[in-house]
A = this chain, B = another copy of it.
Amino acid sequence: MEFSEAKNKFIQTWGALGSQWGINKTMAQIHALLMVAPDALSMEDIMEELQISRGNASMNLRALMDWGIVYKEYKAGERKEFFIAEKDLDELAVKIAQERSKREIKPALKVLKDVSSGVKNDTSAEAKHFTAQTEKLYDFVLKADNMIEKVTEMKENWIGRLVMKIMK
């Protein structure tokens, strides 16, 4: 297999996987590209390689930076901005877990709490079942979210320790 073929296959697959997980294709592709790039890439480089417009590149790079998994880098003597991906996979996993928890799980928990405790003065079997069921769901999602938090804390500490060790 040619290198360019392999690279392309990797970027396409990562993009498709992103879509399936609710992350847009271009965002996932840019991330994939940066993950395997040995050096920081400019917006031009990215547009060229993925054949996408400037606006698209700009918006998705911003999104990746908001997620904390891509960083800007300035090169001496260059006016352009360059971009690099978080390449530590543990760190990547932690960041993604934290962002999804913050953006999706937390708001869902709020709604679950509201609806499970909000129905008053309705003694129908349907209403009672609803309240019981949504309460269970609230507890379950809360536990799952706490578990994610625990795991990411653990990873962060582990990474923290590693960083300390390296920097001495």
Asked if B3 contacts A35 (CB within 8 A), the reply is no
With A1-B120, A119-B6 known as contacts, the answer to whether A13 contacts B108 (CB < 8 A) is: yes
Asked if B89 contacts A136 (CB within 8 A), the reply is yes
Complex: A13 Cα to B116 Cα, angstroms = 13
Across the two chains, which residue of chain B brings its CB closest to A92? B140
Does A87 interact with chain B (Cβ within 8 Å)?
Answer: yes
Which of B36, B112, B120, B126 has a CB less than 8 Å from the CB of A133? B36
Across the two chains, which residue of chain B brings its CB closest to A147? B151
Does A122 interact with chain B (Cβ within 8 Å)?
Answer: yes
Asked if A20 contacts B17 (CB within 8 A), the reply is no
Most chain B beta carbons < 10 A, residue from A7, A38, A93: A38
What is the distance, in angstroms, from A150's C-beta to the closest C-beta of chain B?
A: 14
Does A59 interact with chain B (Cβ within 8 Å)?
Answer: no
Does A129 interact with chain B (Cβ within 8 Å)?
Answer: yes
Copies in the complex: 2
Proximity bits, A124-157, B CB within 8 Å = 1, else 0: 1111011001101100100010000000000000
Asked if B17 contacts A119 (CB within 8 A), the reply is no
Complex: A136 Cα to B104 Cα, angstroms = 29
Asked if B17 contacts A130 (CB within 8 A), the reply is no
Complex: A137 Cα to B13 Cα, angstroms = 13
Asked if B10 contacts A111 (CB within 8 A), the reply is yes
Asked if A111 contacts B20 (CB within 8 A), the reply is no
With A115-B10, A124-B3 known as contacts, the answer to whether A134 contacts B36 (CB < 8 A) is: yes
Asked if B1 contacts A134 (CB within 8 A), the reply is no
